Structure 1
Amino acid sequence: MKMILSFLCASAPFLVNAHDEKLEVIEVLAPKESLAIASANHTSAYLDERFTFSLNRTIADQLTNLSGVSLNGQGGQFQSYAIRGFSRGRIRTEIDGIPIITDRRAGNSASFIAPSLLNLGHVIKGPSSALYGSQAMGGVVSLSSEMSNQTQVAGSVQSNNQGVNFTFKHQKNDFTSALAYQHANNDLAPNDDVLNTQFERASGLVRYKTQHQGFTATYSWLPSYGKSIGKSNIKYPIEQISDYPEEIHSLTQVQLTGEENWVAKLYHHYQNWDSRTTRLERYDGLSQYQGHTLGGQWLQQVTVQGLESHWGIDWLSRKGVKITSDYLVADEFELSPLSNEMNAEEDNFAVYGKTHWQWGRVDFDLGLRYDWIRQQSEQSEDATDGRLNASFAAMLPLSETVGLGLDIGTGFRYPTLSERLFYGQTPRGLIVGNQALDPETSVGSQVSLNWHVSDEVSVYGAIYHYDLDNYIDRYETELGYLTYQNLNTAQISGFEAELRWYAGGRFEHIFSYQQQSGEDTHQQRLDDLHPRELSWTMLVHFDNWSFSNAYRHTFNTDDVGGSELERDAFIVWDMSVEHQLTEKQSVSVAINNLTDETYYGSLDEDAALQPERSVKLSTSIQF
């Protein structure tokens, strides 16, 4: 079993703790982690459970603590995120290796799962993520529900929205079970605006592992049910009210791990949710969505002429994707009913491989992937395409403490089913798909530096640049509806840096900075780019007490994309205190937005304000 774990994590990076000990990150249920080319290890960022100051509404709250990740879209329970300015269908989100594809125009996210059920997570940045195929052109958010052997009960209550969170988790030997319940009323903004953020959700997990002759079988089921989920929007409640009356998700998976360095898996994601939008004095509409994501994967480690190599087969299929829109449109004299239905399917087959070798002191990685995609619909002719992508990485140790990484990779993104085929009202307005859209392609490069200055200080930095062709842009027509078009070319460039300082064994400081630029063929700024941001996080440990302090300064933004608004600079200050009462129980107090700052979560023109200052009381008991 130890050999298999080493195989699955062959490319896993090493983290250094305050005592300069190297900790290997293991994700058993993410077999393609070993296929992430070396550059992903240069610039991967890992979620840190010690950051207890997060609002923890969805996993997006935790991801924004990582350099290179920012929020985009309107906010609330369906808050989406961007990696280095890549957003919407350009980044892949997966849970235990299962890709999450929800066909939401703002992008896919794992908001339907309580964050407390996701115990490990990391973000892969850089062009090497092309090995994951379409919808991973800008990176991968990989989340895992693996947990340690223990039984835990945790709960929290929060001021402002009267939020309640309860989690039960149990793992013993080969059996895991978990249940989470969340409920919250509408938040208030610092200016007393009511935010449409209410929701109620229950999610759970059952997993069982069994040993057979020569392999280990893992069976898992992750269900989720939500209702009365508010859709945050600046237009609420005067101009527009949007919500999701009901949302159902079910993720099932069977995985086989062999003793001869192979992994095979089958998975299924069923989703069924409704979206309701009332645009006062204009229309009242309901969209109903359902769909199945089916897939399989084979991963094999081989040795070719002494070189460690991996190859694999991917199968991803979208079946029964159906979006029904029924709405009433107001004219001068009456309400006119309009209806539309989208029925579509998609199949994606791929083969991919990676090989690693060393020449002198330099480590090299080369990856290739070929994808074949077909989309079918009753409303249009079949669309098919094939794409070959490559990734190359080199890691040069300049000294015992300094490593220099170089990454070059190509990527692509096939238009989503909704971008090509959807027609109907959404919280954004009337969306009309464009069947003539071409796939996006990219060539990305980055140079990264990792410098272990001393036992107390480490430095990380990365400069990156992407050239994109056929960039898919959403725009508003003269008739007032939204549709999509291909731009000839676009560019994204940026810089991110992080300094970690372990002071005296009790204090840890994390300083980070990021900035970015991007423009299209007409020198117009792209949507969803990061504003310039500087942050400082301090963690203090003393006997049975822990203290965290997070200070984030976002600079003013006066150069924005076509669907964005200029924003003033703002400062967000969060803090938390945790006390270990006994060996089994801890309590904590977290204060979010300590100074009651009025600010927006993103540059999106429809983004609502973020919540006012709030206090969260939490406790956790282990058995």
Structure 2
Amino acid sequence: MLYYRASNHPDIGGPPGYRRATRHLSMKDHLRPLTLITALFTATITSAEPALEEVRVVGQRNLLNQSLYLQGDQQSIRPDEQVSLNRTVGDIIERLPGVTLNGQGGLLQSYSVRGFSRWRIRTEVDGVPIITDRRAGNSASFVPPELLSNVTVARGPASSLYGSGALGGTVNLASIQPDGVEATLEGQSTDNAIAATLGYGDGEHFAGAVSVRRADRSEDARGRPLNSGYEQVGALLKSRIELDSYDLSLSWLPSYGKDIGKSNSEYPDRGVSDYPEDLHSVVSVQVQNADQWLARLYHHYQDWESRTERIGVRTNVTDYKSHTLGGMAYTATDILSGVGRSGVEWVGRRGVEISDQEFNADGEPVISSENIDGQEDNLAAFVDQQWQLGALSYGGGLRYDYIDQEDAGRSRSDNKLNGNLSASWAANDAWTVSASAGTGFRFPSLTELYFNGVTPRGETVGNPDLAPEENLGFQLGLDYQGNAVSASLHSYINDLDDYIERYRISDELRSYRNLDGAQIWGFEAQLDWQSHEQLRHSLSYQWQRGEDDDGRWLSDLNPPALRYLLEWQGQRYRVQSDLSYRQERDDFGEGEQALDSAVIWNGRLVRQFGSRWEGEIYANNLLDELYLGTADEDAAYQPGRTIGVRLRWFGG
């Protein structure tokens, strides 16, 4: 297998809205890729090659070290498994079915999971929620990929255990735990990017690492410049102490970046957008008592600046500071002889300050304003439980959230109770059928409510009357695990109320509004097979659609795409090929544009030199395709053909 299932995120659901989903799955044009997958599955199902290896990754949030989630709801990928540019978290997870890039380009590229993006995806670093007030949504691009061991994406209709901000799922970044000395040096063409990383640890109780990287502006396939340069340094310190039956863990991940370009179509003729400085500090302290209970405290400080220059007109500089602090405690439960947990969580935000300065074309200050000076508290209690009855696994969960938001004397509060149900039936040793249903929600962010200022897209005005988004989601899954073949087909539908849309009032003015109703539905299919002891294949297809009650397309949807991954593993060599075909899409949502079809081919060759050295040559966009990475109306083209080299040393 090229993908690895993981068990570190709660994402439980129940009975599917099958009738609504299958109405669209039966469309002839969209069945063709699925028919191809089925044909390949039929051709390889009888293969007698050795069984594919399945690796389970257990994260900190799974107290009982067991899976409470439906098969196929989660996938985990290591940074060294992706076959593309190694710039951001988005680059790493973009190859997983149901995940695409979103928004404008550059180092702070955001991502979409099953059509949910911006503040609708909860991003965590070692269990610490990353909450920011960028209009593009949350991003963890301040963490260099070299400091990550894996990234897990949890998809599904319900996210009750995570509360607000996890309407569409979660993305969890797990930091590295080196065993001995490890060093990496890499460089690439097009943007002259270089990166150096040095780490040391004992594999269990201590880890330390530092990563330094920089890049110049890149170029698209036409040779036009892209505002994608950056400088960044990140570090990591982790310690774990065992005291009788108690485990005490501490971690600190600081990061500093400067001159980070925001790549969009305005550059270089009409405008330049960048982040002159970007500072982050993520601290976590955790105590766990065997498999009985766990408590965690955390703090995320961020201080960054964005600059938007309209050539020959004006320049706006926005300063942003905030503290996210919180804690969680939960304990194992065995209600009615089941297994699960119950607990409480607090996520607080303090000192959320956003100020704006405007300068005229001569660089003279014109306007200075304080846009947000706010804070926020989210208190929650949750419980989830799962039971086993022969071949049937079933369970459910509840979570109650209360939130209080304030800004400059204005305040509002709200509360939500959400739940989910799930069932999974193992028909035999190979086939599993699963179904899930659940409710999700998202409170509006402080930015959506109160921000009034200038962004790279123009002036934005908040709407303090926004209602929380609500979602009723359903999913149906079919999974097969054979000797040399595995396959999955998952369909889903989300029925949304009060969906928050960013819309254009005029060319230079935007705001937010609630839509009465909206729906997002689609499916993902994947087939993995091993045709030879050294040769593995993976074929996947994704398709989705989303529209409001008036039939208008929603933004941030995943374009239909077919992907074929090939890996050959020799004694000292490993060859990987990543070939994808993105279909054209003429329909698009507010603030977007049509997408042309594109064929994107990435590849790499890795060679082992003894037991301590590993060399790699990789190529991105081998066909030098000119294509947009996202449907955003201001998106720039992606970088042209890029060749890179990477050298790793394992000191032991």
TM-score interval, smaller chain: over 0.9
DSSP-derived class of the 2:55 partner = strand
DSSP-derived class of the 2:118 partner = coil
1:596 to 619, 624, 636: 624
Label 1:18 to 1:98 Cα distance change in 2 as closer, same or farther (>3 A). Answer: farther
Partner residue in 2 for 1:526 = 554
- Distance in structure 2 (CA, Å) of the matches to 1:280 and 1:611: 24
Amino acid at match of 1:59: V
Shift of 1:455: 1.1
Tell me whether 1:159 sits opposite 2:159 in the alignment: no
Partner residue in 2 for 1:112 = 142
- Distance in structure 2 (CA, Å) of the matches to 1:73 and 1:46: 23
Label 1:568 to 1:258 Cα distance change in 2 as closer, same or farther (>3 A). Answer: same
Partner residue in 1 for 2:101 = 71
Shift of 1:253: 0.8
After TM superposition, the structure 1 stretch with the greater mean CA deviation from structure 2, 536-545 or 47-56, is 47-56
1:136 to 163, 166, 186: 166
Shift of 1:552: 0.7
Amino acid at match of 1:285: N
Label 1:314 to 1:490 Cα distance change in 2 as closer, same or farther (>3 A). Answer: same
Partner residue in 2 for 1:3 = none
DSSP-derived class of the 1:102 partner = coil
Identity, % of aligned positions = 37
2:567 to 539, 542, 546: 539
Matches within 5 A, 1:424-439: 424-439=453-468
1:397 to 402, 408, 426: 426
Tell me whether 1:26 sits opposite 2:58 in the alignment: yes
Matches within 5 A, 1:231-310: 231-259=262-290, 261-310=292-341
Q: C-alpha offsets along residues 305-328 of structure 1, whole Å, 9 cap, x if unaligned?
A: 322121011110000000001113
DSSP-derived class of the 1:62 partner = helix
Kept in 2, the 8 Å contact 1:68–1:84? The answer is yes
Tell me whether 1:368 sits opposite 2:398 in the alignment: yes
Amino acid at match of 1:226: G
Shift of 1:260: 5.0
Q: TM-score, normalised by structure 2?
A: 0.90
Kept in 2, the 8 Å contact 1:408–1:443? The answer is yes
- Distance in structure 2 (CA, Å) of the matches to 1:392 and 1:492: 20
Matches within 5 A, 1:47-196: 47-172=77-202, 173-196=204-227
Kept in 1, the 8 Å contact 2:399–2:419? The answer is yes
Amino acid at match of 1:362: L
Partner residue in 2 for 1:320 = 351
Amino acid at match of 1:117: L
Kept in 1, the 8 Å contact 2:11–2:160? The answer is no
- Distance in structure 1 (CA, Å) of the matches to 2:160 and 2:9: 18
Label 1:611 to 1:472 Cα distance change in 2 as closer, same or farther (>3 A). Answer: same
CA RMSD of aligned residues (A): 2.0
Partner residue in 2 for 1:207 = 238
Label 1:185 to 1:49 Cα distance change in 2 as closer, same or farther (>3 A). Answer: closer
Shift of 1:415: 0.3
DSSP-derived class of the 2:596 partner = coil
Partner residue in 2 for 1:4 = none
- Distance in structure 2 (CA, Å) of the matches to 1:363 and 1:224: 43
Label 1:142 to 1:30 Cα distance change in 2 as closer, same or farther (>3 A). Answer: same
Shift of 1:336: 4.0
Label 1:36 to 1:141 Cα distance change in 2 as closer, same or farther (>3 A). Answer: farther
Shift of 1:479: 7.1
Partner residue in 1 for 2:597 = 569
Matches within 5 A, 1:380-529: 380=410, 382-452=411-481, 454-478=482-506, 480-529=508-557
Kept in 2, the 8 Å contact 1:572–1:595? The answer is yes
Q: C-alpha offsets along residues 429-464 of structure 1, whole Å, 9 cap, x if unaligned?
A: 101100000000000000011112x31111011000
Kept in 2, the 8 Å contact 1:35–1:131? The answer is no
Kept in 2, the 8 Å contact 1:342–1:379? The answer is no
Kept in 1, the 8 Å contact 2:577–2:603? The answer is yes
DSSP-derived class of the 1:78 partner = coil
- Distance in structure 1 (CA, Å) of the matches to 2:340 and 2:445: 32
DSSP-derived class of the 2:161 partner = helix
Label 1:579 to 1:263 Cα distance change in 2 as closer, same or farther (>3 A). Answer: same
Kept in 1, the 8 Å contact 2:544–2:560? The answer is yes
DSSP-derived class of the 1:400 partner = coil
Label 1:50 to 1:206 Cα distance change in 2 as closer, same or farther (>3 A). Answer: closer
DSSP-derived class of the 2:486 partner = strand
Amino acid at match of 2:87: R
Shift of 1:542: 1.4
DSSP-derived class of the 2:448 partner = helix
DSSP-derived class of the 1:56 partner = coil
Amino acid at match of 2:69: A
Q: C-alpha offsets along residues 275-296 of structure 1, whole Å, 9 cap, x if unaligned?
A: 0111123321100000000010
DSSP-derived class of the 2:72 partner = helix
Kept in 1, the 8 Å contact 2:534–2:568? The answer is yes
Kept in 1, the 8 Å contact 2:11–2:169? The answer is no
Q: C-alpha offsets along residues 150-199 of structure 1, whole Å, 9 cap, x if unaligned?
A: 32001101011110011111111411101001100000111111000010
- Paired residues in the alignment total 607
Matches within 5 A, 1:577-588: 577-588=605-616
Amino acid at match of 1:220: S
Shift of 1:526: 0.3
Label 1:83 to 1:571 Cα distance change in 2 as closer, same or farther (>3 A). Answer: same
- Distance in structure 2 (CA, Å) of the matches to 1:399 and 1:114: 43
Kept in 2, the 8 Å contact 1:285–1:425? The answer is yes
- Distance in structure 2 (CA, Å) of the matches to 1:593 and 1:322: 40
- Distance in structure 1 (CA, Å) of the matches to 2:50 and 2:442: 40
Q: C-alpha offsets along residues 494-547 of structure 1, whole Å, 9 cap, x if unaligned?
A: 011000011111111000000110001221000010111001000001110000
- Distance in structure 2 (CA, Å) of the matches to 1:615 and 1:252: 36
Amino acid at match of 1:397: A
**Larger relative contact order (Cα-Cα within 8 Å, sequence gap ≥ 6):** 2
Kept in 1, the 8 Å contact 2:82–2:95? The answer is no
Partner residue in 1 for 2:257 = 226
Amino acid at match of 1:153: A
Kept in 2, the 8 Å contact 1:135–1:413? The answer is yes
DSSP-derived class of the 1:477 partner = strand
Label 1:432 to 1:9 Cα distance change in 2 as closer, same or farther (>3 A). Answer: closer
Kept in 1, the 8 Å contact 2:371–2:450? The answer is no
Gaps of 5+ in 2: 1-6, 13-48
